[in-house]
Amino acid sequence: MRIYLYILVMAGVSYAIRALPMTVLRKPIKSRFIQSFLYYVPYVTLAVMTFPAILHATQSQISGALALIVGLAAAWLGADLFKTAVVCCAVVFILEFFV
C-alpha cells in the first residue's frame, strides 16, 4: 500500500510540473530574452544529459565513448532518431565482445 502512495505522490508532482506552464501560460511571451532562452533550453538539456552519462551507461567506458562518437557522426550525416539509436546500440554490442 505504501508503495502505491509513493507512486501517487510521484505521479501528482510529475503531472503538476508538466501541466502548469502549459495551462497557465496561455498568451505568447513577448520578451525576446525568454523566447531565446526557451529556444535554447531543449538542446542544452539533452546535451548535458548525454555527456558524460553515456560513458557510464555501458560495461566499459570505451564502448560508451565510441557509441557517442559514432552516434554524433551518424546524426551529422542525417540519420534519424531510430537509425542513430540502433547504430549506437550496435557499436556497444559488437565492441563488448572484445573489451
Which residues, numbered 48-77, are part of the site for other proteins (CB under 8 A)?
A: 48-54, 57-59, 63-64, 67-68, 71-72, 74-76
Please tell me what DSSP assigns to residue 28. P
> At 11, is the secondary structure helix, strand, or coil?
helix
Residue 11 Cβ vs other proteins, minimum distance, rounded to whole Å: 4
Q: Please report whether residue 47 would count as binding other proteins according to CB under 8 A.
A: yes
Contact 45, 78 (CB under 8 A): no
Q: Please report whether residue 1 would count as binding other proteins according to CB under 8 A.
A: no
In angstroms, rounded to a whole number, what is the distance separating the alpha carbons of residues 42 and 22? 16
Give the footprint of other proteins on residues 8-27 (CB under 8 A): 8-15, 17-26
